[in-house]
Structure 1
Amino acid sequence: MSSKVNFSFENVLGVYYAGQVVSGTAELITERSKTIRSIYITVNGFVETRWQENVEKAGADGKPVKSLETHTTTQIYYSSDKYVYGQSGGSQLELPKGKYVFPFQTTIPPQAPTSFNGTHGQIKHEVTLTIDRAVRYNNIFKQCFTVILPNDLNAKLALAQPLKRIEEKTFWWGSIFGGNKPMVMDVSTSYSAYVPGQKIHFHVVLDNQSDVQCQDVKVRLFKNVTYRGKSNDQEQLKTTEARIADKHCGEVDKHNKALFDEYLLVPPTTPSTQSEHDPIRVSYTLRFIAKTFRLHGGGDLVVDFPLVIGTVPLLGSADDKGPGQKSQQTNTNGSYRALCKYQTHLFFLQINNLLSTAEPNFQEDVRTEHFESNTYKPRYPVYQFDGKSAEANGGAAKTPVSSLYPKAVDTTPAAPVHYTPNPVSPPGKPIATEIQKTPPYPVQAPAAGAATTAPDSSFEVLGFSIPPGYQPTPTAPTDAAGSIGWK
């Protein structure tokens, strides 16, 4: 390839929160000169979903006919364009070979959704450099970056409440031998919400009064993604479930009782979606399973809890030792105490983070699925409550990633950047910046007027170099977009 672009973000990891300013440089290196109209940089964010399903509909003769139906949706959240070389609809320019550095900058909307890359859709934030070529296909270079919509778990008092439930199950296997006693599972957690890198301490009591052996008590964290799409003006939904964390506690024999005080570590993963109407919604389920033999009938004993994954931990949750270990508070005037706790949240949360937790690292999503050809893996905040980097449950620790906000003493002053000036930016003359695009991919609109080349100029057309002094035949079109005639 004769050209390449290196994108550099002011934030070295390319991670930003919604509402922040994303900025950086695009370094263009071209190995040969080109005839172009302009170069512009687009910073945008959009959501896209697409999947196919086999449907059966009545044909013309009334008989059912199977067909493949595509469900899709696209929504642009923001888009900004800036011409850095030339102008929209301008005349042709010669871009000599060499190295060019162009700046880009835009403000991310405060409610821009968190970056996501899944099987049937993506929430994508990217920077695109487009070289608008006169008589060739445009050269387009793209680079994704991560945007995180803050999800402060302290904003909802209900998330600080524990999860607790008692479920039981009977099996027909026991009734064969004259007994019908149940298997009872009592489960609880300290809170209803956590952040990546935090331990979900749980308390499980399995009272196996039945004649069925429990092979294993499993605790799993599932990531649920719901995609919205449209086909023939009808909304369709597609839901996937993926296990991102797993814990095996052990077996419990029949007529026995066991207690498990363990924890499940939350890996780097997408925060829960806060809006109910987004085209892509992410939620989580914490599942407790008492595994039994299928032959015994009735299936496994399962307890499911909805769990929220956020970006800011609950106040005081860094010292969590498990259900029942939290400091006991009197029930008198409890709602008033909770209200005061929430009102002073900003102050105490800052102190709590300084004493109990470090600044979060930003690590790649633990999941490996991706939408079509987009292999970019967003980074999400991961907290280190015990001074160690987050690791997979039962796996090896990952190499820690530098913080988004490095300390000033550890930061080397950046060298001054010399930007390439725009050769076509006369003072006082407005430059058209609007581009007609087909979302979500930016497409340069055709030139408004014909671009005429001077008789003594040389420019590149379809790989040929037209010599100086060349004159087209009288019947040949004079615009650059038309066909070319030779004498």
Structure 2
Amino acid sequence: MSSKVTFAFDNNPLGVYHAGQVISGTAELTTDRPKTIRSIFITINGYGETRWQESVEKPGDDGKTTKSMETHTSTEIYYSSDKYVYGQSGGSQLELPKGKFVFPFHTTIPPNAPTSFNGSHGQIKHEVTLTIDRSVRYNNIFKQCFTVILPHDLNTKRENAQPLKRIEEKSFWWGSIFGANKPMVMDVSTSYSGYVPGQKIHFHLVLDNQSDVQCQDVKVRLLKNVTYRANSTNKEQLKSTESRIADMHCGEVVKHNKAQFDEYLLVPPTTPTTVGERDPIRVSYTLRFIAKTFRLHGGGDLVVDFPVTIGTLPLLGSGEDKGPGQTASSNGSVNSYPGAPIFQEDVSDEQFESSTFKPRYPVYTFGQPGNAANGAPAATPSLYPRAEDTPPVAPLPYAPNPVTPVAKPTAPGPQKIPPYPTNSPAPVPAAAPGGGHFEVLGFSIPPGYQPTPSAPGAAPPAGIGWK
């Protein structure tokens, strides 16, 4: 290893910011041998890109149709700032001695910067890059991604607080064979049209199966719909995908029977619904209810779809939601909030080409202790991540480069003085043997823990088993 760079964000160990905030931190460069360079500069930028291939048919010179692969791509830069922390652009060669050096960085994220995203055909990425410009050899480039979230307050639109309700029915040709063609009827409703990650989508569903077809299962799914936009041959191209991010099974409903389900679907950490109309990547969501039937019976499944909005700030009073038609608890307040969110990685496994970065999105812990003190309503959460919302971490142990008087130049033109190495961080003391907690496969075992004695081999299992 000739060079290594460690990035650290000031008072923000998770690297999560909202559009409009100031991002600052340090880049710690470690080299194990001297380098001949021209400059070192740090870039902070945000950009979006899409790319995919499709098979197209085109007429050939001989009049016959031929198939070929066509690539659709687009790139859009939202902001970019460069700062030379050592040397200058196009400067003369400099000697960078081996050692450890720390360079600060900071910039303001534009207030309309889009939310970070990583998908199968595109990405919206925000990153810090340190580049060592070398005159003879290839440049050394080091990157660190961070998450940017464009705030989406669900309270700004009334339709987000409106309940969803619909009644759909479906008939099957299987019943008409025997002279009875009664339908399967689904009546479904929710409390709201807008939710945030960590919130439960409570729903009320009644399936009246008057038909001669058995419903194998009633499924509820939250689907993420992504539309990618690109330009190719002076024509806009679109690519749409649909993926399931939450799923539950309510159960079967046999023919000539009726069943009611009052359940909920938990919204996982996921990208907020896109606000901009011309973004190269647009994200929307569909809440789907499915009454699954046998294909042999004909007609397909009974499906009810609702468009839902996923935001970053919940609706007022939505933390007291118990389901459509049910009243909130008497000690709840319609103005209460669930408290400040935590930030968790995107639940989606999709990624754009070789990009493995997972953005973090706000997740609210509805109904869990610690959101309010002594039973009082929790304070209104901030639209922006704060240092107290994340676990504290030890500060980066470094000292600034000392300022040394510049020697009198012996030749015309500015002289470059290489950065001085910083103090080496103090070694971390090793934990005392046998003391404190220790981790075994992710479980924390307290000190003094004694395992439960095993039962004799001939002892009966005493009714213990799987439920």
The TM-score bracket by the shorter chain reads 0.7 to 0.9
Q: How far apart, CA to CA, are the structure 1 residues paired with 2:293 and 2:86? A: 68
Structure 1 gaps, min length 5: 328-347, 390-402, 427-450, 454-487
> Which 4+ runs in 1 deviate beyond 2 A?
403-426
Displacement, 1:405?
Answer: 2.7
Indicate the SS of the match to 1:271.
coil
Q: How far apart, CA to CA, are the structure 1 residues paired with 2:385 and 2:100? A: 29
Q: Say whether the 8 Å CA contact 1:201–1:321 is kept in structure 2.
A: yes
Output the amino acid matched with 2:316: L
User: Counterpart in 2 of 1:376?
Assistant: 357
Indicate the SS of the match to 1:145.
strand
Deviations 1:148-194 (A, max 9, x none): 00000000011100000000000000000001100000000000010
Q: Say whether the 8 Å CA contact 1:358–1:387 is kept in structure 2.
A: no
Q: Say whether the 8 Å CA contact 2:18–2:385 is kept in structure 1.
A: no
Deviations 1:439-469 (A, max 9, x none): xxxxxxxxxxxx9x9xxxxxxxxxxxxxxxx
- TM-score, normalised via structure 1 length: 0.77
Q: How far apart, CA to CA, are the structure 1 residues paired with 2:186 and 2:406? A: 73
The 1:385/1:424 distance shift into structure 2, 3 A limit, reads farther
User: Counterpart in 2 of 1:432?
Assistant: none
Give 1:311-322 correspondences, 5 Å limit. Answer: 311-322=312-323
Deviations 1:357-414 (A, max 9, x none): 131000000011111111000000000012179xxxxxxxxxxxxx943449985784
User: Counterpart in 1 of 2:178?
Assistant: 177
Q: How far apart, CA to CA, are the structure 1 residues paired with 2:369 and 2:230? A: 41
Q: How far apart, CA to CA, are the structure 2 residues paired with 1:136 and 1:34? A: 10
Is 1:68 aligned with 2:52?
Answer: no
User: Counterpart in 1 of 2:240?
Assistant: 239
Is 1:352 aligned with 2:352?
Answer: no
Structure 2 gaps, min length 5: 371-383, 408-412, 416-467
User: Counterpart in 2 of 1:188?
Assistant: 189
Q: Say whether the 8 Å CA contact 2:197–2:268 is kept in structure 1.
A: yes
Q: How far apart, CA to CA, are the structure 2 residues paired with 1:240 and 1:415? A: 42
Q: How far apart, CA to CA, are the structure 2 residues paired with 1:37 and 1:424? A: 21
Q: Say whether the 8 Å CA contact 1:162–1:192 is kept in structure 2.
A: yes
The 1:421/1:94 distance shift into structure 2, 3 A limit, reads farther
Output the amino acid matched with 1:386: G
User: Counterpart in 1 of 2:6?
Assistant: 6
Output the amino acid matched with 1:185: M
Is 1:16 aligned with 2:17?
Answer: yes
Displacement, 1:211?
Answer: 0.5
Q: How far apart, CA to CA, are the structure 1 residues paired with 2:391 and 2:365? A: 20
Q: Say whether the 8 Å CA contact 2:342–2:390 is kept in structure 1.
A: no
Q: Say whether the 8 Å CA contact 1:103–1:419 is kept in structure 2.
A: no
Output the amino acid matched with 1:316: G
Give 1:149-168 correspondences, 5 Å limit. Answer: 149-168=150-169
Q: Say whether the 8 Å CA contact 1:85–1:423 is kept in structure 2.
A: no
Q: Say whether the 8 Å CA contact 1:85–1:422 is kept in structure 2.
A: no
Give 1:375-394 correspondences, 5 Å limit. Answer: 375-387=356-368
Q: How far apart, CA to CA, are the structure 1 residues paired with 2:369 and 2:220? A: 23
The 1:299/1:109 distance shift into structure 2, 3 A limit, reads same
What's the % identity of the aligned pairs? 74
Range 102-111 or range 404-413, more displaced: 404-413
Q: How far apart, CA to CA, are the structure 2 residues paired with 1:75 and 1:256? A: 55
- RMSD in angstroms over aligned alpha carbons? 2.5
Output the amino acid matched with 1:250: G
Indicate the SS of the match to 1:154.
helix
Output the amino acid matched with 2:336: N
Displacement, 1:57?
Answer: 0.3
Q: Out of 333, 342, 346, which is 1:361 matched to?
A: 342
Q: How far apart, CA to CA, are the structure 2 residues paired with 1:425 and 1:289? A: 75
Output the amino acid matched with 1:275: G
- TM-score, normalised via structure 2 length: 0.80
The 1:196/1:179 distance shift into structure 2, 3 A limit, reads same
The 1:307/1:39 distance shift into structure 2, 3 A limit, reads same
Q: Say whether the 8 Å CA contact 2:340–2:389 is kept in structure 1.
A: no
The 1:238/1:423 distance shift into structure 2, 3 A limit, reads farther
Q: Say whether the 8 Å CA contact 1:362–1:379 is kept in structure 2.
A: yes
The 1:316/1:196 distance shift into structure 2, 3 A limit, reads same
Deviations 1:96-145 (A, max 9, x none): 00001000000000000000000000000000000000111110000100
User: Counterpart in 1 of 2:102?
Assistant: 101
User: Counterpart in 2 of 1:439?
Assistant: none
Give 1:13-412 correspondences, 5 Å limit. Answer: 13-326=14-327, 352-353=336-337, 357-387=338-368, 404-407=385-388
Aligned length: 392
Deviations 1:23-69 (A, max 9, x none): 11000001100010000000000000000111110011111111110
Q: How far apart, CA to CA, are the structure 2 residues paired with 1:227 and 1:365? A: 18
Output the amino acid matched with 1:60: D
Indicate the SS of the match to 2:336.
helix
Displacement, 1:421?
Answer: 6.8
Indicate the SS of the match to 1:370.
coil
The 1:352/1:423 distance shift into structure 2, 3 A limit, reads farther
Q: How far apart, CA to CA, are the structure 1 residues paired with 2:51 and 2:390? A: 47
Q: Say whether the 8 Å CA contact 2:170–2:302 is kept in structure 1.
A: yes
Output the amino acid matched with 1:302: V
Q: Say whether the 8 Å CA contact 1:151–1:310 is kept in structure 2.
A: yes
Indicate the SS of the match to 2:325.
coil
The 1:412/1:171 distance shift into structure 2, 3 A limit, reads closer
Q: How far apart, CA to CA, are the structure 2 residues paired with 1:409 and 1:120? A: 32
Q: Say whether the 8 Å CA contact 2:196–2:310 is kept in structure 1.
A: yes
Q: How far apart, CA to CA, are the structure 1 residues paired with 2:319 and 2:181? A: 43
Q: How far apart, CA to CA, are the structure 2 residues paired with 1:379 and 1:61? A: 54
Q: Say whether the 8 Å CA contact 1:86–1:424 is kept in structure 2.
A: no
Q: How far apart, CA to CA, are the structure 2 residues paired with 1:425 and 1:267? A: 57
Q: Say whether the 8 Å CA contact 1:86–1:425 is kept in structure 2.
A: no
Displacement, 1:277?
Answer: 1.2
Displacement, 1:90?
Answer: 1.1
Indicate the SS of the match to 1:418.
coil
Q: Say whether the 8 Å CA contact 2:215–2:254 is kept in structure 1.
A: yes
